[in-house]
């Protein structure tokens, strides 16, 4: 995708129009954003211009118990905060006088070309945020021209979500009983998933104290969760039968943080790695993903794509992740906030915000395309 300065201005204007549309829809549905949790200045201005604006607006719409699940992290939430803070602490050092009159943001992942490197990470139970659930998310992904990774904890069956045809559609797998899991993988592939992303960082759940205090319970009868406990400690050998069940569809691993795990992952046939600490929801005091990323990238040496999630709230965060070697990034909570505020259009708006900010950041650092983004634009941390 080629973008010039006029395109960026148009994008910002369009985002303002989308925000106005969201306010109109809120009035029509008797769902006001005028909530005690939203600062008065936001209520007066009414503009949804940033991811944080959407977060505040989403909190006014989401059931408080569900909010404690969506927004919380593990234990003291140090990793949850560190994911964001580590991005903010990393400084940019721009190049000047480079031709950035036209910017391209295209990336290619496992043979699929996307117009930008911002994907939707797997997150659970989207009907907690909006009645359309994962169908609304998939529509938003299509509108935003982005890829979507559907969670095993989806509230909508995989085949129904796939019908919305996002530009790229992967399925995230929690390994459960072997027979059940094999059937689930095959069903996802039949439905159109072009990759399976196996979550490997959850042999048990973390100390999720906020959601415990709120007495949060997952919805009953989720279509891809069996009646038994979903946590299942994996070993490298398990990837053999998972890959067999996938029938040639690439299998990625989600939850890589230690560089020593790269070689075993590639030896086991991983087609890609996702640097993730589960959004700060499992092991508290764990390393922030942007800090773990460089060592993983160095160990991979370009053999497979490396994606990263956790803490991305600005287009400059996307730029920093790419500069540290990520092939693409994934966002989780931000698009759920967009979904809560305005359904599919809200998902699109959040992606558009980050995309427009990325283009501006690329221009301001002298990077006219994703391949031109490298560590030379990164300075010290604050």
Q: Mind telling me the catalytic residues?
A: 278
Residue pair 353/49 in contact by the 8 Å Cβ criterion: yes
Q: How far is CA 222 from CA 75, 137, 157, 199, 245, in A?
A: 26, 17, 8, 18, 22
Alpha-carbon torsion, ordered 65, 69, 75, 80, to 10 deg:
-130
Q: What DSSP designation does 122 have?
A: P
Sign of CA dihedral 310, 254, 130, 283: negative
* Angle of CA points 223, 229, 232, to nearest 5°: 105
Q: What DSSP designation does 75 have?
A: T
Residue with tokens 């944080």: 52
14 vs 51: CA distance, rounded Å:
15
Residue pair 134/150 in contact by the 8 Å Cβ criterion: yes
């Amino acid at each position: 995708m080629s973008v010039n300065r006029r395109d960026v201005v148009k994008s910002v204007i369009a985002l303002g129009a989308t925000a106005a549309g969201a306010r109109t829809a809120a009035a029509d549905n008797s769902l006001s954003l005028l909530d005690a949790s939203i600062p008065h200045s936001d209520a007066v201005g009414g503009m949804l211009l940033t991811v944080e604006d959407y977060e505040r607006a989403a909190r006014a719409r989401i059931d408080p118990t569900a909010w404690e699940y969506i927004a919380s992290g593990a234990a003291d939430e140090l990793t949850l905060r560190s994911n964001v803070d580590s991005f903010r602490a990393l400084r940019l050092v721009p190049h000047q006088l480079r031709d950035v009159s036209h910017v391209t943001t295209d990336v290619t992942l496992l043979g699929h070309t996307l117009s930008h490197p911002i994907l939707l990470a797997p997150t659970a139970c989207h009907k907690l945020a909006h009645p359309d659930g994962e169908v609304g998310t998939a529509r938003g992904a299509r509108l935003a021209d982005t890829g979507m990774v559907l969670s095993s904890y989806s509230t909508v069956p995989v085949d129904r979500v796939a019908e919305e045809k996002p530009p790229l559609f992967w399925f995230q797998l929690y390994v459960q009983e072997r027979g059940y899991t094999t059937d689930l993988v095959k069903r996802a592939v039949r439905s159109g998933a072009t990759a399976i992303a196996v979550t490997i960082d959850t042999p048990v759940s973390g100390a999720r104290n906020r959601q415990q205090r709120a007495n949060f319970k997952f919805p009953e009868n989720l279509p891809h969760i069996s009646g038994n406990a979903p946590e299942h400690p994996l070993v490298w050998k398990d990837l053999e039968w998972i890959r067999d069940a996938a029938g040639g569809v690439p299998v990625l691993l989600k939850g890589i943080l230690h560089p020593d795990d790269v070689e075993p992952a590639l030896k086991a046939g991983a087609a890609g790695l996702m640097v993730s600490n589960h959004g700060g929801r499992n092991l508290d005091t764990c390393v922030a993903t942007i800090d773990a990323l460089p060592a993983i990238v160095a160990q991979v040496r370009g053999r497979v794509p490396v994606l990263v999630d956790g803490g991305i709230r600005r287009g400059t965060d996307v730029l920093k992740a790419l500069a540290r070697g990520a092939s693409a990034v994934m966002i989780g909570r931000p698009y759920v906030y967009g979904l809560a505020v305005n359904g599919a259009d809200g998902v699109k708006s959040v992606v558009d915000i980050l995309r427009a900010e990325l283009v501006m950041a690329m221009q301001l650092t002298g990077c006219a395309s994703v391949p031109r983004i490298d560590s030379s634009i990164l300075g010290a941390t604050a």
